[in-house]
Amino acid sequence: MTLFEEFESLLAEIRPVDRSMVPAVQAHLDDLTKPQGSLGRLEEIAMSFVLATGSTVPVLEKKKICCFAADHGVAAEGVSAFPAEVTPQMVYNMVGGGAAINVLSRHAGADLDVVDVGVNHDFPDTAGLVKRKVGKGSGNIACGPAMSEEEALQAFMHGTRLAREAASAGYHLLGTGEMGIANTTPATALYAVLLGIDPDTITGRGTGIDNARLEHKKDVIRKAIEVNRSYCATPLGTLRSLGGFEIVAIAGFVLGASSCRIPVVVDGFISSAGAVAAMKICPDIKDYLFFSHLSSEQGHKTVMHALGARPILDLDLRLGEGTGAALAMQVIEASVKLYRQMATFSSANISEKQHEGT
């Protein structure tokens, strides 16, 4: 089977959630020993998790975050406050256990895989590092496509297979993360094309660039979109021309998890770009996704509004790595525990609210 045939087979396996379950799930939520709706968004999250898994007795015990790492040729345009050498340095920090995502994934009780899908460095075999390198960094999108069609399909299917392997290993909830210097630039370009948003309104400071470099970054993004316009007729074509290996892999990861009915917690600005591309490829997957937090990165609020999405947390985070996903996983787990473990009025012999006139 060719990569494209594997891609088409994946899409054929994805099904929308079964909304015929909604009345029964809502009845159970309303029967819990509390005023109806008093747990607010926790009840919405529980409903979403149940629908995604397709089970009215959902299990959430094993969690995993995959942090995809890659370099970007567009870093040569000077769009980041940090040099490209930081990408492999941070990967070493992650596999060594010293990054923020290590701390937060441990706190959440989630396993962590760091996936080299396109870092410009040869890593030794290391525990916790998954080697799926497609190339040593993507091409400079200001000059042409980020990658070839074959490379895009490779990165995409690497993400898909990792999600399916996690499903086979018994994981109940997956999360995305990323690491790649300059990757807010391709993410912004992707949003602009996929959602029809003016890139100037959503281009942010990334790792902390000054005003002059911000204006330069806007110019680079506009140039990238124009240079690659002929390749952007489809979501996959847009991904391959304006994305990066880690963003493409995240899109594949999200679709792979959805094909297995495993909900996915999407991290921040970069991960959301992969999720948006995946949603454009297959709209049915939106009900398998939880957007973890509202990034403080310029434009994320605009993107979430365009999607009609309401992230779980708003903590002014903009680190990436999967940090927001790790935190939101704990809220999702709490919601599922309330759904599963609370007593009901039917079983606890507690009087419900009286109706007027009774």
pLDDT digit string (tens) for 194-229? 999 999 999 999 888 899 999 999 999 999 999 999
Q: Which pair of tokens denotes residue 16?
A: 């929308």
What is the dotted CATH code of the domain comprising 63-331? 3.40.50.10210
Topology (CATH level 3) of domain 3-57+340-348: 1.10.1610
Cα–Cα distance measured from residue 358 to residue 356, given in angstroms and rounded to the nearest whole number: 6
Q: Select which of 43, 178, 297, 321 is catalytic.
A: 321
Task: Pinpoint the residues of the chain covered by CATH 3.40.50.10210.
Answer: 63-331
Tens-digit pLDDT profile for residues 43-96 = 999 999 999 999 999 999 999 999 999 999 999 999 999 999 999 999 999 999
| Distance, CA of 246 to chain centre | 11
Compute, in degrees rounded to 10, the torsion defined by CA atoms 32, 36, 39, 40: 140
Q: In the chain, what percentage of residues exceed pLDDT 70?
A: 97
pLDDT at 358: 45
Task: Pinpoint the residues of the chain covered by CATH 1.10.1610.10.
Answer: 3-57+340-348
Long-range CB pairs of 23-31, under 8 A, 24+ apart, other chains included? 24/56, 25/50, 25/51, 25/56, 28/56, 28/339, 28/344, 29/339, 31/344, 31/345, 31/346
Query: At residue 41, what are phi and psi to the nearest 5 degrees?
Result: -70, -20
Measured at the alpha carbon of residue 68, what is the angle toward residues 63 and 74, in degrees to the nearest 5?
A: 155
Tens-digit pLDDT profile for residues 249-299 = 999 999 999 999 999 999 999 999 999 999 999 999 999 999 999 999 989
Q: Is 333 a catalytic residue?
A: no
pLDDT band at 351 (very low <50, low <70, confident <90, very high): low
pLDDT at 172: 98
Beta bridge partners of 115: 68, 130
According to DSSP, residue 288 is labeled: G
> Is the Cα dihedral 83, 85, 89, 94 positive or negative?
positive
pLDDT at 208: 86
For residue 242, CA distances in Å to 54, 146, 263, 271 come to: 35, 6, 27, 14
Cα–Cα distance measured from residue 240 to residue 150, given in angstroms and rounded to the nearest whole number: 9
Tens-digit pLDDT profile for residues 167-180 = 999 999 999 999 99
Half-sphere exposure of 288 (CA within 13 A, CB side): 31
Q: In the chain, what percentage of residues exceed pLDDT 90?
A: 94
pLDDT at 156: 98
The 129-131 sheet, strands edge to edge: 129-131, 110-118, 63-70, 173-179, 264-266, 289-291
Q: Is the pLDDT of residue 355 over 90?
A: no
pLDDT band at 1 (very low <50, low <70, confident <90, very high): confident
What residues have CB less than 8 Å from 2, skipping those under 6 apart? none
